[in-house]
Structure 1
Amino acid sequence: MIENYLGFPDGTSGADLADRARQQAVKFGAELVMMSEGVKAHFDNDHIHVRLADGESLTAKSNICATGVEYRRLGVADEARYLGRGLFYGAGAAEAPYCSNEHVFVVGAGNSAGQAVMHFANYASRVTMLVRGSQLSATLSQYLVERIEARDNVDVIYDTEVSALHGASAHQSPVLQGLTLCNRKDGSEHRQSASRLFVCIGGEPNTDWAMDTSIVRDASNYLVTGPDLLTHGQPPAGWPLKRQPFYLETSVPGSFAAGDVRHGSIKRVASAVGEGAMAVSFVHRYLQEHH
């Protein structure tokens, strides 16, 4: 549920907002290539060439990368084994109604985790929020902190992470039955019964497509853009233009990034939409330069 986007005082779901955006884009003549993942790209002769998962390819003078992030994993043994069988990534809105009268665990301390906790609290008998840090206020919006603290059926356990998953087979399929929780201060562990675990700990950027290109990525593989590319006021080596990179431009002229995939981005819907609109403006400026 998105509650802080201007113009939606009662909130809106991400799926509904995305579908409205799709309808609006089609209305203005955009061509959508659905269900075709871009798996590889290279730059040649001032063009980007993208190979799609279905074998097709796209070529363009300019591009905007807004591929976002994938959910970050816990990194414990048997994680894939329990996926969809008690372990879920993200807020799990579709799963919430099935959690009636259950004890639900949510891992994470960001806004997505806080929103998930409040959503599950409307269905589950108890919701436990597992937080690696020692406080929520450093990573969570204050309105969510206040809501979480006010709910009688919500607990927050600090300085804690999941170190193991436990379960048993049901009809030849593994089912989550418990967690091992580790105290990050003293290393002590204890086992906790659990059948629903939702992981909301951020994501990894979808930038593998750029792995063999000259695009600069940071240590976490986010695309570096604009002023962040400069060192002592100078663009990176290989930058071919006299001007400096535009604000959302990568180290390859004419290739832009917007939203969560970009280094240093503000993880909010409003800023992502704004960056998308700004990137389109920069594309026009770039194309005018190279007309």
Structure 2
Amino acid sequence: MSKPTILTVDDDPMVSAAISRDLRNRYGDDYLIVRANSGAQALAVLTKLALRNQPVALIAADQRMPEMTGIEMLEQAQTHAPGAKYLLLTAYADTDVAIKAINDIGLDYYLLKPWDPPEDRLFPVIDDLLDDWRQANPDHTSDVRVIGNRWSDRSHEVKTFLARNYVPYHWYDVERDPEAQRLTGLAEATPGDLPLVLLPEGDTLRSPSTLDLAGALGLRTRAEQPLYDVCIVGGGPAGLAAAVYAASEGLSTVIVEREAPGGQAGQSASIENYLGFPRGLSGSDLTQRAVAQVSRFGAEMVLARPVVGFENRGPVHAVLFEGAGEIEARALIVATGVSYRRLLAPRLEEFTGRGVYYGVSASDASQCEGDDVYLVGGANSAGQAALNLARYAKRVVLLVRGSTLEDTMSRYLIDKIVSMPNIQVRCRSEVVGCRGEGHLEALTLTDRDSGRVEEVETSWLFVFVGASPRTDWLGPDVMRDDKGFVVTGQDLLLRDAWRLPRAPFALESSVPGVFAAGDVRLDSMKRVASAVGEGAMSVYLVHRYLAMV
């Protein structure tokens, strides 16, 4: 890949020279810094770069330029550099038009002038934008290669694991891609060996388990210490927030995640109501930032290890891994979140991973290009998924059991869905059956009011229905409601489930020293911001608990 370009656009020669100097001093080793003195000149530069296939990482444009404003120039720049990050340099009086540009042209950030000192006001903003650009535009020369069948559940599991753990990979469909067939022949692989995972270094993996795959990729799958101050089970927003606060405050901390960090929120294409991000951010973005913080403060993260049991051993608590192994800690935070409930319709389970998916990843969305896609659910997660799928699919049909979206989905999402010409919302509809040979080929739908039944052809069904907590592993000592949500705090007293003289802490379960945070807890808000808050709060309560024992 050629050295990526950072383009600055400002009609004031002194300002243009100053920002170019600052950027060159900071980023010149890794980026080509180019100046333009007008919008027209900037577009000419972008045209040349596009013809040379030279990547553009960032365009920083002044708003108040004669003949063409910064926003007008950035809008046209989308044709020349669609993947670039857009930064608007503006005065306070122009903040309204800058905010409007976030929605209208996808402006990434606006920065008030002047930006002195750049170390405090300019560079942190650009660092974040460039980090995001690099994540979206990796160098693919060292990618993992995955060879498998498009409709294989194991292939889907491998691709999902790689994507959610931010491991770049290239997918080869063995039925469509001659290169896949060539590589399969070279590996002397049988159908039972698929999916094949070809690593840049190391042996070829044949239909690997996620644990074997994680180990081959160098991801941590074992804890380094026999005893920790706090063990956090679950790597969603609540668990990651707890790990950041615990480790930053000096507690020896380990976080255990059975799949990948981020939880359900990590798969969201866009979280638009999270404080401090006016343009919104993807779940992947939020997760990567959180994981970096966890690592920075020294917390351990153990991946691909499902927790199947819990034991209370006097002053310590033990979590037991599937197969073998355990971790002991003086305090335990349960942040396992929830999973989507399974749809109960004939043959539907047969096609899970073969056209029927619970949740959706970016790679799933891109594979639906040109197809009709059906999606079940009426909450925010379903709305965000529908908008993401609509970028690729010919048509997205949103099936909702209720009479209206207004009862379950945020207004801003409803407005976006209504404005998309290729999204159709069908209320009072549900899936009652399906058919296919080897993979999903058709769904049977029913209208809940009229009873009318119809069959529709599709190979894609994504399900976003309800919330099922992952708490079976906790055993009988940790009190849960009839749906599996962990009972905490004052609710324990109301149910006569607390036996110590002191009152339980707000997020404490029926077992002293075991806390619950986020979606897994009874009566939690089921929002990313509240999960992060509860994760932070749980660490405060852990400190109070440890001071007593």
TM-score (norm 1): 0.91
1:54 shift after superposition: 4.2
Counterpart in the other structure of 1:9 = 278
Whole-Å Cα distance in 2 between the matches of residues 155 and 90 of structure 1? Answer: 19
> How many positions carry a matched residue from both structures?
280
Greater Rg, structure 1 or structure 2? Answer: 2
Whole-Å Cα distance in 2 between the matches of residues 77 and 19 of structure 1? Answer: 39
1:261 shift after superposition: 0.9
Pick aligned residue for 2:537 from 278, 281, 286: 278
1:161 aligns with 2:425: no
Report the AA paired with residue 262 of structure 1.
Answer: R
Report the AA paired with residue 470 of structure 2.
Answer: N
1:202 aligns with 2:466: yes
1:115 shift after superposition: 0.6
Cα-to-partner distance string for 1:12-64 (whole Å, 9 max, x where unaligned):
33233223222211211212222222110122324312211241112222110
Cα-to-partner distance string for 1:212-239 (whole Å, 9 max, x where unaligned):
x3111011101111122232xxx624x2
Name the stretch that deviates more: 183-192 or 264-273. 183-192
1:236 aligns with 2:521: no
Gaps of 5+ in 1: 169-173
Counterpart in the other structure of 1:171 = none
1:188 aligns with 2:452: yes
Pick aligned residue for 2:480 from 209, 217, 227: 217
Whole-Å Cα distance in 2 between the matches of residues 273 and 187 of structure 1? Answer: 43
Higher relative contact order (CA 8 A, sep 6+): 1
Counterpart in the other structure of 2:548 = 289
Whole-Å Cα distance in 2 between the matches of residues 11 and 69 of structure 1? Answer: 23
Gaps of 5+ in 2: 1-268
Report the AA paired with residue 218 of structure 1.
Answer: D
Pick aligned residue for 1:110 from 379, 384, 393: 379
Report the AA paired with residue 208 of structure 1.
Answer: D
C-alpha root-mean-square deviation of aligned residues, in Å? 1.6
Write the mapping of 1:96-175 to structure 2, written as runs, cut at 5 A: 96-168=365-437, 174-175=438-439
Whole-Å Cα distance in 1 between the matches of residues 466 and 289 of structure 2? Answer: 25
Whole-Å Cα distance in 2 between the matches of residues 19 and 160 of structure 1? Answer: 37
Q: Identity percentage over the alignment?
A: 47
Counterpart in the other structure of 2:122 = none
Pick aligned residue for 1:40 from 309, 312, 326: 309
Task: Check 1:142–1:208 CA distance in 2 against 1; reply closer, same or farther (3 A cut).
Answer: same
Contact 1:120 1:127 in 2 (8 A): yes
Counterpart in the other structure of 1:60 = 329
Whole-Å Cα distance in 2 between the matches of residues 215 and 267 of structure 1? Answer: 21
Whole-Å Cα distance in 1 between the matches of residues 490 and 519 of structure 2? Answer: 17
Pick aligned residue for 2:509 from 250, 253, 258: 250
Counterpart in the other structure of 1:266 = 525
Contact 1:216 1:251 in 2 (8 A): yes
1:203 shift after superposition: 3.0
Whole-Å Cα distance in 1 between the matches of residues 361 and 341 of structure 2? Answer: 15
Report the AA paired with residue 34 of structure 1.
Answer: L
1:145 shift after superposition: 1.1
Whole-Å Cα distance in 2 between the matches of residues 31 and 116 of structure 1? Answer: 31
What SS does the corresponding residue of 2:363 show, helix, strand or coil?
coil
Contact 1:105 1:128 in 2 (8 A): yes
Pick aligned residue for 1:83 from 346, 352, 362: 352
Name the stretch that deviates more: 178-187 or 155-164. 178-187
Whole-Å Cα distance in 2 between the matches of residues 49 and 96 of structure 1? Answer: 39
Contact 1:178 1:194 in 2 (8 A): yes
Whole-Å Cα distance in 1 between the matches of residues 329 and 365 of structure 2? Answer: 42
Whole-Å Cα distance in 2 between the matches of residues 176 and 49 of structure 1? Answer: 42
- Structure 1's consecutive aligned runs of 4 or more residues displaced over 4 angstroms after TM superposition are none
Contact 1:38 1:53 in 2 (8 A): yes
Cα-to-partner distance string for 1:65-99 (whole Å, 9 max, x where unaligned):
00112221112222232222221111333222222
Whole-Å Cα distance in 1 between the matches of residues 442 and 320 of structure 2? Answer: 42
Task: Check 1:54–1:7 CA distance in 2 against 1; reply closer, same or farther (3 A cut).
Answer: farther
Cα-to-partner distance string for 1:114-143 (whole Å, 9 max, x where unaligned):
111111122222111100010111100011
Whole-Å Cα distance in 2 between the matches of residues 167 and 181 of structure 1? Answer: 15
Task: Check 1:103–1:59 CA distance in 2 against 1; reply closer, same or farther (3 A cut).
Answer: same
What SS does the corresponding residue of 1:236 show, helix, strand or coil?
coil
1:69 aligns with 2:328: no
Q: Of Structure 1 and Structure 2, which has the larger fraction of its residues in helix?
A: 2
Report the AA paired with residue 21 of structure 1.
Answer: A
Whole-Å Cα distance in 2 between the matches of residues 164 and 22 of structure 1? Answer: 40
1:251 shift after superposition: 1.1
Whole-Å Cα distance in 2 between the matches of residues 208 and 240 of structure 1? Answer: 22
Cα-to-partner distance string for 1:255-280 (whole Å, 9 max, x where unaligned):
10011111111111111111000000
Whole-Å Cα distance in 1 between the matches of residues 304 and 323 of structure 2? Answer: 9
Pick aligned residue for 1:227 from 487, 490, 496: 490
